[in-house]
Amino acid sequence: MSVRTRFAPSPTGRLHIGNARTALFNWLFARRRNGSFLVRIEDTDIERSTKEFEKAILEDLRWLGLDWDEGPDVGGGKAPYRQSERLSIYRSYAARLVDNGLAYNCYCTKERLEGLRKTQLAKGKPPRYDGRCRDLASSVPPAGIEPVIRFRVPEKEIRFIDGVHGELSFDTSAFGDFVIVGSDAIASYSFAVVVDDALMGITHVIRGDDHLSNTPRQILLFDALGLRAPSFSHIPLVLGANRLPLSKRERNASVSELRDGGFLPIAVTNAIARLGWSPEEGLLRLDELASGFALETLSNSPAVFDVERLKSFNREAIKIMDDDALFASLGMDERDVLFKEAVLEIRANASTLSELKGLIGSVTGAIVYNEDALAVLSEPYAKEVLRAFYSEAARFDLLDGLAYNKIIGEVKKRTNEKGPRLFLPIRYALTGRKEGVELVNILKLIGKIEALKRINRFI
């Protein structure tokens, strides 16, 4: 059997970290088994779905390096790949269930259903439809009400083997007859996904634990339609630092926020791959992650998204990033050789590209001298250090590493200063900061003329 997995996002928001992990695990499983990975857009939520979100989700997937074999933008033998373009297919399958007595029209109003729900909750019972329209004669439907179609749920226990949790069972008495097509003729999620997964030949469904309660309903629908159900694997939800389910409102909760924050794709995929899975140590390429991926190795415990761990992966990714790509990402294609050398040395201090830009900007941008800096720079010993540094630096054409070592050596001899009393006045004069980029790299970044100009200001 050829493996076919899918990622089916709803275009109602940005690609969330948890959803990105779902996409990654489905991609890894398909690639590990030499199978196919599909993208299907579940856009039946007419009010909230937008083309802009769909485009953004696809862009984020590509940025992560997750390509797909079939999808809305690449086509395939099971098209269309947007649920909004498959409504007639769902209606035909719903009609088949009604004709076979496995589903029925329900004319209950929203007001009645809301009242029923409140009554059941007040009695401490789980809300479920009471079956009022189950045996309603089709020849005398209530006037003026567009019906929904409900699936006639049999009383039974549903058992299945979950790829992560093992054998699970659900009693159908817990949920009752459920809607498969709304009064607006739009198929429900559970019904549409069953028809799509079957017709698209999906063999394995890997998704979050929040879909676990949908699974028994979907298995009933597969059976009623005479369709083959895929294997299900439900992965625990991703938690934030507060140990609560990761919210879209949290910072760095979406892939686009991470990309805009200066994180690299390989770092993000390595971080989210370890949310419920433990591949080999180190920064791994997608093909390396795929080679070791197996459902039986996934954890059934919730995973915490750790931004600091992501930063450590990103720091490694920046270190091994192609030099030209690094310069291009920083907008430095036309910089001089010494400047690029300084950037390559500074890169090890940055955990994101944004942080690297900030380090460079703190040296090459506008300088602000705070009270602490001005206090040090007004000291007599500091001025003596700066005078010695100026006269020694002026003797060199380029302030490279070799020149820096000679300059500092001579300044130390002339002033008898060392440690902070030697280096702090120079650093404050050049950057206005107590800490940051190493002095030798500061000189490479700003060059001799600018360095002497900044030093001279405090002599």
Q: Structural domains in the chain?
A: 4-82+238-304 (3.40.50.620), 86-235 (3.40.50.620), 321-459 (1.10.10.350)
Distance from C-alpha of 14 to C-alpha of 247, rounded to nearest angstrom: 12
Distance from C-alpha of 18 to C-alpha of 246, rounded to nearest angstrom: 8
**3-state percent helix, strand, coil for the chain, nearest multiple of 5:** 50, 10, 40
- Specify the residue for token string 């895929």: 230
Q: Which residues are catalytic?
A: 248
Chain segment 322-370, per-residue pLDDT in tens: 999 999 888 876 666 767 888 888 898 899 999 999 888 888 888 999 9
Contacts (Cβ under 8 Å, ≥6 apart) of 163: 204, 206, 231, 232, 233, 234, 295, 296, 298
Cα–Cα nearest to 69, from 197, 200, 191 = 200
- DSSP type of residue 147: P
Phi, psi of 208 (to 5 degrees): -75, 160
Contact present, 224 and 151 (Cβ < 8 Å):
yes
Distance from C-alpha of 274 to C-alpha of 280, rounded to nearest angstrom: 10
- DSSP type of residue 297: G
CA contacts within 13 A on the Cβ side of 56 = 17
Tokens representing 277 are 């899975």
- Quote the pLDDT of residue 139: 53
Chain segment 49-98, per-residue pLDDT in tens: 999 999 999 999 999 999 999 999 999 999 999 999 999 999 999 999 99
Chain segment 393-410, per-residue pLDDT in tens: 999 999 989 999 999 999
Share of the chain above pLDDT 90, in %: 80
Chain segment 206-234, per-residue pLDDT in tens: 999 999 999 999 999 999 999 999 999 99
Chain segment 183-192, per-residue pLDDT in tens: 999 999 999 9
Contact present, 108 and 133 (Cβ < 8 Å):
yes
Distance from C-alpha of 299 to C-alpha of 279, rounded to nearest angstrom: 12
Distance from C-alpha of 180 to C-alpha of 94, rounded to nearest angstrom: 7
Distance from C-alpha of 20 to C-alpha of 254, rounded to nearest angstrom: 9
Distance from C-alpha of 93 to C-alpha of 193, rounded to nearest angstrom: 12
Tokens representing 439 are 């002095």
